[in-house]
Amino acid sequence: MSNVKFRSGETIPLEMHKARIVQKLNLPPADVRLEKMREAGFNTFLLKNRDVFLDMLTDSGTNAMSDKQFAAMMQADESYAGSETYFRLEAVLQEVFGMKYFLPAHQGRACEHIISRILVTPGTTALMNYHFTTTKAHITLMGGAVEEIIIDEGLKVKSELPFKGNMDIDKLKGEIKRLGKENICFVRIEAGTNLVGGQPVSMENIRETSRICRAEGIKLVFDASLLADNLYFIKTREKEFANVDIVEITREIGRLMDVIYFSARKLGSSRGGGILTSDDGMFSRMRELVPLYEGFMTYGGMSTRDMEATAVGLMETMDMDVISQTPIFVAALARELQAKGVPVVTPYGGLGCHIDAREFCEHITQEEYPAGALAAALYIASGVRGMERGTLSEQRNPDGSERLAEMELVRLAIPRRVFTLSQIQFVADRVAWLYENRKLIGGLKFTDEPKLLRFFIGKLDSIGGWPETLMKKFTEDFGDSL
């Protein structure tokens, strides 16, 4: 069981683990938080972790590892070539996904780089349910383009549809006909969709997408970085799989794909990443790039200790008690926020709780980055570091104008087995206070804007003195409370 019902009728998430090692946290006072936010250029990526109380920026590399993972790291074979560690990880991946070949890489975006180099040519288009920032960057750098064909419901903040990350099958057929299959470099499924609320993809949709791609001779690529949450949703939301083992669900996905890649910073709760395929030709082409860009074939930029931890973590991902931990805590936070009137993405997805910054900060135009401003305001009010997933995360159009995001979200990631329920309740309380005082939040403007992936390293400033006004209101309401 992952949820428990009290006699009062209340259902709460139940941690299916116990804490044996702890890490001290620091909660700076509000005036210090404001100072640190200014130093970081109102970009939560540029905050130092020593100044963060609860780090909900991402689940990438921040999931808690298990005792078995730490134990496995001690048997790592550090050989440059032919490491036994590599073959142990390869065997686990073959068992879990049923695919023939494994190519290691240092993380997911390194996999995207290699895949784009062999599949993307200038003028071709990648079709996908929704893009991820680094995926799109690699494709465009190779001269390709990206077309998103997520179902219309996927871009609605509030919905009851259980699989909002699904590919629109009619749009897929239409784009193949419009572009011509020879001009499509690949079709990509991201499960689940990172930028639009961690929404999952159904197995039914995966099967139909695969059927069309195979009939047309188009390569189908699967980003499995967020697969753990997606497996949970397939198991709990698709009746066909209610009594099917997690590993069998994963193997079916493997049978339907030409290429699978993943970041082990997410899938496996470790570090590193990898590419899987059963296609001899694709393997041969990609194999030549691994030593050039990553490292020798049997480590590929990964630490062998991390490879050992990944092998164990992948097997643990086949356990419902493990993969349930993020979705049930996301749901717990989202329910708390909804009860307080805060607009969140529904149905609740994986990865984290997603706040609708467009409605939350409806007085701020998208050109002034409402999601970025809300993320900055949340840190000032709580010490909680979230991530902007909106216009700030987009790239400008070729003419220099803003490409306005289809959704303006602040993501509060909930890494697996990291936070306690009291910490989740603290976050809900501070977000609710911020919502009550949302008119005090103002916009942002760039002071240092990189051309590529600006949300990672760009710096901004507040438009007007709203951060000081917000901090003053916070201290009036909470006094000496942090």
- Residues with catalytic function: 80, 132-133, 223, 266, 389, 455
Amino acid type, 286 = M
CB 378 within 8 A of CB 431: yes
CB 179 within 8 A of CB 125: yes
Q: Which of 23, 91, 20 is CA-nearest to residue 310?
A: 91
Q: How does strand 352-356 pair with strand 409-413?
A: antiparallel
DSSP string over 91-155:
HHHHHHH--SEEEEESSHHHHHHHHHHHH--TT-EEEESS--HHHHHHHHHTT-EEEE-B-GGGG
Q: Which of 136, 258, 276, 121 is CA-nearest to residue 184?
A: 121
CB 118 within 8 A of CB 285: yes
CA-CA-CA-CA torsion sign (323, 242, 194, 100): positive
Report the Cα 310 to chain-centroid distance in Å: 18
Amino acid type, 166 = N
Radius of gyration of the chain (CA): 22
CB 154 within 8 A of CB 129: yes
CB 54 within 8 A of CB 423: yes
How far is 417 from 429, CA to CA, in rounded Å?
21
CB 233 within 8 A of CB 350: yes
**Could you give the angle at the alpha carbon of 216 between the alpha carbons of 203 and 274, nearest 5°?**
55
